Chain A
């Protein structure tokens, strides 16, 4: 196993077109276990991503640490409860809390998932799969519009890992995501691990998935680990990024150009220094791709 990425070759036209995307470098998900190590150690991390819902509290330690870390690092806000694909009306209280947190954090951007989390007023707290239909596109697009208007800023929408797909699908996932992005004007948070997990579960070509997306719309990449059960793969965020995902990440950057990247870890969380070391590999792969084309520095 090598720790070096394959050198980027000739950038594709999509990659050249992506030179306008903002560039924030290489980040990590900010987790409670790392609050003190971040403040005490000033780790070599370019930015952090917070889970928005974890900071929708009035005060105390969560907000204390958030304020201090925000003073030192750019932050992105990543939500898990927007439920953009749900047939339920939006939870207006949640949206107000989200907007308030956006005001307070002033994040580099705000993201959530292309999924639904609940129906009939009941929240599963899981990222549930959408059918890839025109009906769902129209529904999700109008809801993204609504949220973007309410927040006064663009959303980044993330592809999720899925374990079930539906018989009424009218297109594949990449076409579904691309069409929503085209109609709504939102950006893509491309989770490379999720592409890998879903490609294993559903038998599609992960590289073809990436190739089908509008590259200039990809503003952020997620990397994460998963649990491989042989016949299927579950997105668990409790392992280091696996070799196959690193390789897909390198090929993705070759295709779409340099993209602000971070690693998510939500379980079996190692010491911060280990995650910073893992992020170093993303940095090496990303820098190899980045030298090929200029990007707009934020």
Chain B
């Protein structure tokens, strides 16, 4: 007798296009077992393709039907789902695209996929109450160097070596996408605003460094200013850094600010 595990393993292999399920293990109903098995096989590929297309609608549009089908088939084979929600099935797609031809020959494709995945993560990231600039005003001057910021859980910083975001924007607007080329801006900032609308904008190298220092490296204001002084004149840095901080607060990116050098914090 076929054990449950063996039956399931062989059935799934068939559904995935691998080893054929023994026909003698099927009972003959009104529907021929070949047709029955084909229904499951077709549904498997279709469901995963639909999940990728739901997550990457503009990448699919950019690639066109033939390349999109090639991407789906290759990705589904390389990364069979190991997740419970289709929401996460395509999580490896940006990296996979950078390592598999013909997609890897065009870095904008992987970056376009990465941008769309970041938008997904922005969309359903955790909620958190934001604070405004008055929090910073409440600190003593002596406490400012020790200020560390906590960003809203939706905030993402995406390094962009190509103009993938401009391509995405054009496709979103129903326009012909520009030719893929190197990016004029090194990164893009993405976040969800207080009205739960996903937003993004390009950031220059100064803001990228400041964001990375605060956001990823968890550094304080003094360290961030030191880092900025490596790429900007030292006398420009305080105003530059203050301007960035003010903008981030105004955009609703900050959920708390605290300083090791003062008891005042939120």
Q: Which residues on A are within 8 Å of B, measured CB to CB?
A: 53-54, 56-64, 81, 85-87, 91, 94, 97, 116, 118-126, 128, 130-131, 133, 135-136, 139, 162-169, 200-203, 231-232, 234
**What 0/1 readout, one digit per residue, does chain B (36-62) give for beta carbons within 8 Å of chain A?**
110110011001100100000000000
Assess whether A164 is in contact with B80, with CB atoms less than 8 Å apart: no
Min C-beta distance of B149 to chain A, whole Å: 20
Assess whether B25 is in contact with A163, with CB atoms less than 8 Å apart: no
Q: Tell me, yes or no, whether B175 is within 8 Å of chain A by CB.
A: no
A91 to B83, CA, bound (A): 9
Q: Tell me, yes or no, whether B256 is within 8 Å of chain A by CB.
A: no
Assess whether B85 is in contact with A86, with CB atoms less than 8 Å apart: no
Given contacts A163-B35, A169-B27, A200-B30, is CB(A125)–CB(B153) below 8 Å? no
Given contacts A86-B8, A119-B8, is CB(A163)–CB(B39) below 8 Å? yes
Assess whether A123 is in contact with B25, with CB atoms less than 8 Å apart: no
Taking A56-B85, A125-B44, A202-B30 as known contacts, 11 extra A-B pairs with beta carbons closer than 8 A to each other, sorted by chain A number, are A54-B85, A60-B122, A64-B127, A97-B84, A119-B5, A124-B44, A128-B11, A128-B15, A168-B25, A231-B31, A232-B31
**What 0/1 readout, one digit per residue, does chain B (1-38) give for beta carbons within 8 Å of chain A?**
11111011101100110000000111101110101110
Q: Tell me, yes or no, whether B125 is within 8 Å of chain A by CB.
A: yes
Q: Which residues of B contact A131 (CB under 8 A)?
A: 2, 4, 7
Q: Which residues on B are within 8 Å of A, measured CB to CB?
A: 1-5, 7-9, 11-12, 15-16, 24-27, 29-31, 33, 35-37, 39-40, 43-44, 47-48, 51, 80-87, 89, 122-127, 153-154, 192, 196
Min C-beta distance of A97 to chain B, whole Å: 8
Assess whether A60 is in contact with B127, with CB atoms less than 8 Å apart: yes
Total inter-chain residue pairs, C-beta < 8 Å = 148
A-B contact pairs, 21 of them (CB 8 A): A54-B85, A54-B87, A59-B127, A87-B5, A97-B84, A120-B12, A123-B83, A125-B44, A125-B48, A126-B44, A128-B11, A130-B4, A131-B2, A131-B7, A133-B4, A164-B26, A164-B36, A164-B40, A203-B29, A231-B30, A234-B39
Closest residue of B by beta carbon distance from A83: B84
Q: Which residues of B contact A130 (CB under 8 A)?
A: 4
Assess whether B125 is in contact with A122, with CB atoms less than 8 Å apart: no
- Residue among A121, A126, A139, A200 making CB contact with B47, cutoff 8 Å: A126
